[in-house]
Structure 1
């Protein structure tokens, strides 16, 4: 469980991101400072366009900031080096998105195995699927799985390489509340059992109650930070 004395896993300083579309400039991030501690679960909350996904993409090495720095375990990331960022993503970061991006012609086990084949110290695909409650669905194809089951396969794929960071962008956004609870349960279990530093984007303020800490975004800035003294279990949420 995260506490204020645990080491910082990931931090960013003075992140600015400006998208230029012709003569128009869109300021997606406006000097954001943020840190995530080892084993912490942080929820990023705010309206669409407030900068949450832009920040997560930069922290995960999927995008470059206009200016600012990102540090992973006290080492500055070479944001301009494609090779360095490929290694960072491969060895340290797992991603979960709103849409599952599974390969339809592969079983759940085979979809997860795609990641384990390139990881340094992977789990067995079956082990990762068991962690998200799909031990009995490993040989099913995506079309044979519900939306929640497909999302849990995507989570298993993300964690099978034992990432230090799990970055989740609206992982329950396409799901009903009952199914979303199962997905959140899987994310919370991974955070607690593997000690994976986890950041989760949502529009749903209720989901924030499962976090150690909540970051509120507006207009490209973090406008408020709240620490939860009590984390609620997903099954306790009233969606």
Structure 2
């Protein structure tokens, strides 16, 4: 990401609040969050469980709606979109990677990725996506024949195969050991670097934050601190 890209926000959130209600009980998941994410940026959303990271990511991804506030993706106001508009937004612009891989056991790695490319507007070849995440030799393997880290990389390949402008990752290394997690971070870093995909990565692992351009620390539904990494490290140098 170069300096001129910092003038082009991909996401803009202003005073975003999310309240969940159950009877008379209100749970405030977000309490006035404002931030911008820029073209080609890799951002880490850091914080403990329950701090609001996943809620905010879900609102950015069009999986949930804010109670109050405004969220924009480029010129599209997500907080004013209908369900059908949000579905179209998710399909055309966003790739998701979650902690659990959600692969179809009866399909090979190549077939799992091809499910997305069949419905995308301008997809990359499934084999190209798998090669980007270092699985060129494993394309015809079924999920049960792959390690946890390899399955997560198939999930990443599936997410990027439709060439999304944004990749949203919720604890993508949360179920992995350090060695395997580093392979996954290397795949995400490569995609961010080579494809220019704006990437937001949720983690509670403080060691991961130094691979990002910027770090947003969440606490009690707010952004407690925003930091710029003047010197970033490679995933291989992350201390788990």
Give the TM-score of the pair, scaled to structure 1. 0.98
Cα distance in 2, alignment partners of residues 45 and 81 from structure 1 = 30
Asked whether the 8 Å contact 1:96–1:158 carries over to 2, the reply is yes
d(CA) in 2 for partners of 1:168, 1:3 = 24
The answer to whether the 8 A contact 1:96-1:155 is kept is yes
SS at match of 1:32: strand
In the TM superposition, residue 2 of structure 1 has moved relative to its aligned partner by: 4.3
8 Å contact 2:174–2:203 — kept in the other structure?
yes
Structure 2 length as normaliser, TM-score? Answer: 0.97
How many pairs were matched up? 239
Separation in structure 2 between the aligned mates of residue 30 and residue 147 of structure 1, nearest angstrom: 35
The correspondence of residues 220-235 of structure 1 with structure 2, limited to 5 A, is 220-235=221-236
Tell me, in whole angstroms, the C-alpha distance in 1 between the residues paired with 2:80 and 2:190: 31
CA distance in 2, matches of 1:219, 1:238: 26
Match of 2:3 in 1: 3
**1:125 equivalent in structure 2:** 126
Give, in angstroms, the shift of residue 80 of structure 1: 4.3
For residues 24-103 of structure 1, what are the structure 2 equivalents within 5 Å? 24-77=25-78, 79-103=80-104
- Structure 2 gaps, min length 5: none
* CA distance, structure 1, for counterparts of residue 48 and residue 239 of structure 2: 20
Which sections of structure 1, spanning at least 5 residues, go unmatched?
none
Q: Is the 8 A contact 2:65 2:79 kept in 1?
A: no
Residue correspondence of structure 1 range 4-23 to structure 2 within 5 A? 5-23=6-24
**Is 1:169–2:170 an aligned residue pair?**
yes
SS at match of 1:136: helix
Superposition misfits of 4+ residues, deviation over 4 angstroms:
none
1:80-113 CA-to-partner distances (Å, cap 9, x unmatched) read: 4011101100000000000000000000000000
- The 2-side partners of 1:216 and 1:105 are apart by 39
How many angstroms apart in 1 are the aligned matches of 2:24 and 2:111?
A: 46
Asked if the contact 2:133/2:153 (under 8 Å) is kept, the reply is yes
Deviation of 1:175 (Å)? 0.2
Between the aligned partners of 2:50 and 2:79, the Cα distance in structure 1 is: 26
Q: Is the 8 A contact 1:61 1:79 kept in 2?
A: no
| Alpha-carbon offset, residue 40 of structure 1 | 0.1
- Residue 188 of structure 1 is matched in structure 2 by 189
Asked if structure 1 preserves the Cα contact closer than 8 Å seen for 2:66 and 2:79, the reply is no
Q: Decide which structure has greater helix share.
A: 2
The CA distance in 2 between the partners of 1:221 and 1:115, in whole Å, is 34
Q: Which moved more, 1:4-13 or 1:220-229?
A: 4-13
